[in-house]
Structure 1
């Protein structure tokens, strides 16, 4: 077919080797190969690079040995392969070496490709340095990395997977400052990060209260040792004064009451407005995380509010309630909740919460509750 196309082009008056002749023949040849499945599109591109003799170097180290490695020569138009430089980055050391090219490219004469922010962020994530990608985005004017909404989502998700919740919220603020409109997934990631930040704050407060309580006890213990040398009556008086002066340390339950979910629920609501299904999933993730961390009271209040506002499907709400009873070890309430399925057959059996409830009851070794659960499940399956 390629020969027939060549003869057709020549018969039409196109000179062999002309620009239009080469464009038409090569374009058709590439599309034909991709359509017939003989070669993938990536293999065709690699074959063309090999034909031109501009293969990619196998490592960053070999690239640094080329004349392009000097900052002065990086400022000319030869640095058109910055994307390919970051494609080679696999380690933090590679990212540090490629940053030199990035800065030189920013101060050079060439215009960056539209895919440069995506390539840079993915390279940093691949090297395990999403914080470095956030640094490039924060200083976008210096490095020339102007991310799109898609790039922001990749960066936020990578930071969340690494546990850098503060970095996720910083990237979210940068996205808003760039006047990008967040989508449902962006709100989903931001909501999970906001909850993680709040849990980290509560844990830090609990740790600080415990450490301050230990320090106070040590100080009062030293005072009592000094007072023992005086007299028994003075010792009792000193103990009473020290006990009156020392404040009772706050327990973890008292600290947990300060859990503020305003920001998290605000982001969940925005996600639910844009994408209802993803919003339901986001609410479920938030409630499940609260139950996993032991905040059963907060999870119960949140479920009551979601039920009052009809923000969750009945099946999802039923599963979350069952998980709530299981986390609180309220097996009687869980069995009573399962008994309501007799009048609501359309809900069906809870496939997610029921195995967890059975496992929790089995750990208590209460044969009576386990038999009640088995008999109730047998009746509902009929």
Structure 2
């Protein structure tokens, strides 16, 4: 893997942009104390990514890697009752792919925007565009810094079917001892990329059970009733089970799912994901170094087609010198692709199945 002078310059520019962003401090913009109190928090990230063989094709590129800023407000009426609201926006700080790149306009989009109420012992109820309760379970293996999350059911029209950050959704979540329960419902919705598809409604449920201090198991279900303009109505159904185990410096996660009528996919698919990581917490004085890897495999239950990859990576996460949290992250990940088409042939012959490598530099504020 060789880096040309042009590519090295791109890497240097991206790194410089992150160093400049690091001068800004995340902060609690406003906070009062007492039984009745207010809190306003601003947080986010700036992230840069360079890709070799981007998307499995013979093409290198660099770009933003999900930079974002969030504003969170909470008002406590007393120790038990509070109202809350969050807005979070993604943006491209490198001014690429904006609406008018000649004038360097910022490309931005809404990730989250919701409000709700919380009462101790009763739970939290929120409405808007928000993380799904389905994610409570898929987070077991969605722990890679760059790749992953390709076989958990959240990867296709995720906002529309409700699997990830759906709009116009009502969400309830509460913890009862060692068990966390989430319920979610969403009404009619569509988006500009739906191509004649409309979501009539979706309903969702998830449960996580912490059976030991370092072991959690969970299951989730999502159902979306879809309307197709000029075609038949149909239902999307997604089932997942997952587990995590964190003994000592190890982190292990497994997930299996079954999906019906996923948009842009086969009629019936099955997915598997794994994540295994070991953190060397004393290897360097200013952070943790980790080695990790795993499998993402989504296969057609009625044929030989599959999307399959093996991921390996290493990351440095700092915890000293840049603030009290894990501010800087540098990760290098490599993907061995093992995809097959509907005829069962390796896609290498089609030039879309090359192994990929990505370098991520991220600053959390």
Pick the TM interval, shorter chain.
Answer: under 0.3
Which one has the bigger strand percentage? 2
- TM-score, length of structure 2 as denominator length: 0.22
Which one has the bigger helix percentage? 1
For the pair shown, the structure with the greater C-alpha radius of gyration is 1
Tell me: higher relative CO, structure 1 or 2? Use CA pairs within 8 A at least 6 residues apart: 2
